[in-house]
Structure 1
Amino acid sequence: MKYKNLTPHAITLNDGRVFESDGIARVSAVFSEIENDCCTQSFGEVVGLPEPQEGIMYVVSSIVFSATDRKDVVAPATGHPLCVRNEKGQIVSVPCFIKK
């Protein structure tokens, strides 16, 4: 299986494989007017996600993953207990991807 990373940053798996960004898939958002320093946000369509291709899994952010029912998308397992973090608590690598 080939993975195409559609997040804005490289994804590193715990085994050392690195998937560099190769485009960006996003979910469109609409914001209300600001009142009392707050607004509401609603989400729309996924943009930047190519049509399915045989043998390709698209790595996307968790919000894009949640916004689509496609079986050819995965997201980094950032909540997994085996994530590797640096001294600041930032994720350095993930053990795997999540799928539908």
Structure 2
Amino acid sequence: MKIVNLTPHSLNILVDGKDIVIPPSGTVARAATVRKQIGSITIDGVDIPINKTVFGDIDGLPAPADDTIYVVSMLVAQAVPDRDDVFIVDDAVRDDQGRIIGAKALAHV
């Protein structure tokens, strides 16, 4: 199985005492977002817009390929929920100061 990292940084998968490093591929998958106003509320005579974020085009995500999965950002994964080859990192591992240093798993959104 080939794992393609479509994020801008290395991924450290920490499983069974091993640190599997997946370097960035050089391509970053991105999802365009568009805000659409779906209503408003009025407070003290001021109209406050209520928006909904809609996903637009995805850039940098290749077509599915045999024996290949793609690791992307949460936003990209949420924009393509029907792609069963698209994953995010899951179950963060933190150091003594609370910084994320890796993950224990991958997840499908």
Fold similarity call, TM over 0.5: yes
Establish whether residue 2 from structure 1 lines up as the match of residue 2 from structure 2: yes
TM-superposed CA distance for 1:42, in Å, is 4.1
Query: How far 1:95 moved relative to its partner?
Result: 0.5
1:16 aligned onto 2:25: no
Deviations 1:30-57 (A, max 9, x none): 368xxxxxxx654312211001110110
- Judging by fraction of residues, say which structure has more strand: 2
* Alignment partner, residue 92 of structure 1: 101
Q: Does 1:28 align with 2:41?
A: no
**Number of residue pairs the alignment of both structures matches:** 91
Counterpart CA distance in 1 for 2:75 and 2:99 is 19
How far 1:99 sits from its partner (Å)? 2.1
**Identity level (%):** 35
CA distance in 1, matches of 2:94, 2:83: 30
Residue 67 (structure 2) aligns with: 55
Structure 2: runs of 5+ lacking an equivalent: 37-50
Rg larger in 1 or in 2? Answer: 2
RMSD: 2.1
Segments of structure 1 that go 5 or more residues without pairing to the other structure are 33-39
Question: Structure 1 length as normaliser, TM-score?
Answer: 0.78
